[in-house]
A and B are shown apart, each in its own frame.
Chain A
Amino acid sequence: MNTQLLLWLIPLPPLLAFGVIVLGANRRNGLSTALALGGVGLSFLASMVVFFRVIGIEDLSEHPIGSAVNWLPTADTWLKVGVQIDPLSAVTLFFVAWTILMIFLYSVGYHNFGQPKGDHDVPGLPPHGATVKDGHGSHKVMSIEPMYARFFALISLFAFAMYLLVVSDNLLTLFVGWEIMGLCSYLLIGFWYAKDSARKAAVKAFLTTRVGDMFMMIGLAALYSITGSLSYQDIFGNEAVMHALATTTSPVFGLSWAGFIGLLIFLGVVGKSAQFPLHVWLPDAMEGPTPVSAMIHAATMVSAGVYLAIRSFPLISAGWEQGAPLTVPMVVLTAVGAFTALFAATIALAQNDIKRVLAYSTISQLGYMIAALGMGAYVAATFHLVTHAFFKALLFLGSGSVIHGMEHGVLHTGAHIDPQDMYNMGGLRKKMPRTFWTFLIGGFALSGFPMVTAGFWSKDEILSGAFNGGHIFVFVVLALSAFLTAFYTMRQITLTFLGKPRTKAAEHAHETPWTMTVPLMVLAVFAVSAGWAGIPEAFPGLGGLLPNWFEEFVGSMLHNVHGEVHHSLVPLFTSLVVALGGLLLGWLVYRSVDRADAADPMAEPLGLAFVAFKKKYGIDELYQLIFIRPAEWFAETFTYKWVDKRLLDGILHSIARLGILLGGWLRRSFDLPVINGGGNGIARGTRELGSAMRGIQSGRIQQYMIAAIAVLALIGLAFYYLVFMA
């Protein structure tokens, strides 16, 4: 099959799987599994074929492979939709395909496929376990998720949307995939909808991202009305269009149209990729099942945000040259990204929920990418996007595996403790060795453990981009957050896996089935090896051993930015020091925690700051105060009580009363005398006429006959005189 056709076909199998499961297989768990896995498996194969076909092509960025069809007739032209693959979408496709496949496989084990039905499980709540009777009496085991098929249907739709977003050749279909993902994230975060917190988190995620999406849509509309197209090639690949966009001034803040639209699209990215100040939804989204957390909040959806930011880099950087001062949108990106990176890293320091730590670390790492992009380190941002997707998916799935193992222990001991609280864990290294080693690799990759992990190479590139670009302040902020990242990662690993079990449940934790550990191992391989694709040439010692394929391949996307980046050793040493220092310090501080109810060792030295971290700086409360309360007040008091109840209901009631009055008058003056009187009159007349005529009807045939003959004779006479005699 040729590549164009394959590209069209890539998103389809998961969509079909979704449809078939929803319509036909929603009660059959085995079939749903087969359909969902088959769907993403096909997409995966197609993606790999496409990826390996295109990576060898030299001028792929100038001449992307793809095709488009006319879709929507506008006044005098057609709105086209199509597919295309260029270096950026190729690498995105690669990591998306791998992570999605692994997450699907993992979900099979995570939702306890093959386990018995639960004793008291109801749809909308996580499974509570089942009692099994065997030779040794009855004991509790894990039970299958009650809405197993529904999960696979939704996550298939999600996979479809992500593939659609990646292969699309224009911002419109990208936006369609983007919004389907928004919907799916709402449905999946609220998957256990009987939990109040899950419902709230789902609504929060949906509404928060909507804020960004609205600005993004305005941006797309502006872009379309100016250029008449939304296709990447027509806009970003067309120098004349880009030049026009960069040089015309928009009515807002004196920005160029390119910068203004870039900023609007960036606001969509802020929502989707959970950047400050729209980051609040992502930690709450951990209410969903863990594969969803991995899918939405590591591998695909938040990555889609950064993907879009990278895609719209030509707009953001319009008019910028390598080495020149940053444009306004770039400054905004850098500031938001760097701030978010540090801000989220500090919050992650003080969280005890194993998934929440990862959620904040995701926000922080996304901040990294945004900041890198803002400073023009295009390749570094893309590189970090790829490596981060792998190791963050690994970490999320690993944490899910840990929670699963802990739940096993909780069921076994019957204790009522939170299986997600890291303080309840400890010593899981020996109970769950496969999970431990893979989690360790993922954690080290996140911390940027030197040389061997992918995270090191991508993070190092971002730091060196900041340093060599002369943005020293940003460099310091990012280095500081890298240090914090290493620190909280090691805190997490130490609390979870090292030391001794701090609860009974942790003592009875159990390694998870192969469907969960195999994806961990596969992702662990990528968490290490993905970095080898982009080792800088100038790196001392290792540079040049492997060709810096990533830089060449993705770097060719930048048509006009070709500057010599000189490599300095300062960022290299910085990343070495912060990674190793953070890891070491994290281990030293947290290895002494030996009780589940122990105070955090950092609470004392950090004092008030720790409280602030723990409380997430009160951002949620602040939003509650300045947005949600007023909105609720507005809805409850103003709209409902005043406008709806008094004004609108008053008007409606007046109209109703008027109607009743008019109706009464009509009844008295028209209905009763005319209609009723007339009707009764006809009836009475008929009856009286009937009784009057009754006498004629004697029943005697001879009388009738006489009458008939008499009438006939009369008619005959009349006829005779009137017709013949006239």
Chain B
Amino acid sequence: MSSGPVRGRARVPQVGAAPSVMPDHGRVERTPAPGTTVLPCGDRALLVEVPDAAGVAAVRAALERSPLPGQRELVPAARTVLVVLEREPTDLDMAALRRLSPGPAAQAPEGRLVELPVVFDGPDLAEVAGLTGRDVAALVRALTAAELTVAFGGFAPGFGYLSGLPADLHVPRRDTPRTRVPAGSVGLAGPYAGAYPRASPGGWQLVGRTDAVLFDVDRDPPALLVPGVRVRLREVG
């Protein structure tokens, strides 16, 4: 870390105060990007909220390119990026983050493409086909045609939430989660697709399975599906 902890005035503001009335100190321009909100998160982090997954990707890319001083890590999620620092956040950090535009100008560069080989024989395949008004063959065609992107991780090591499913393929979670979903299961839930790196409880609708190695601690990076990676599902026999 190049700069030491920022001392002095480092109080995190109250939630509920409109960001635009927060005092900006120093020479920072008061031009918050539309749609970007910065929320307090204790004394080592700030939470940046944007309207959608594209905004998350843009904020993540911008902070990877030019990190805040003392930035330890970024945790992208559905509509937020948690910015973890090695020091207390300041008003200056809030101002800098508010000016990050989630718009197309700051769009993340295209990630590398990963093809996931999938056997479409999941226990919920027929039900998902019914829910989406298709037969199974048409569902598989639609899933393999979708251009997916890893939006974020978080459920378990190596699990990637894949965004980019067309809206008519969005299905609800199962009413009752399974107590054990086998490793490699490929499932759908809401706007996301995903693959379970290891056996765990889970509520996603299972449409198939992959033998891709999703997480391996001896590989760099250990996760196959890291945020920003583009994903295609490829049908295998």
B and A form one assembly: no
B interface, CB within 8 angstroms of A: none
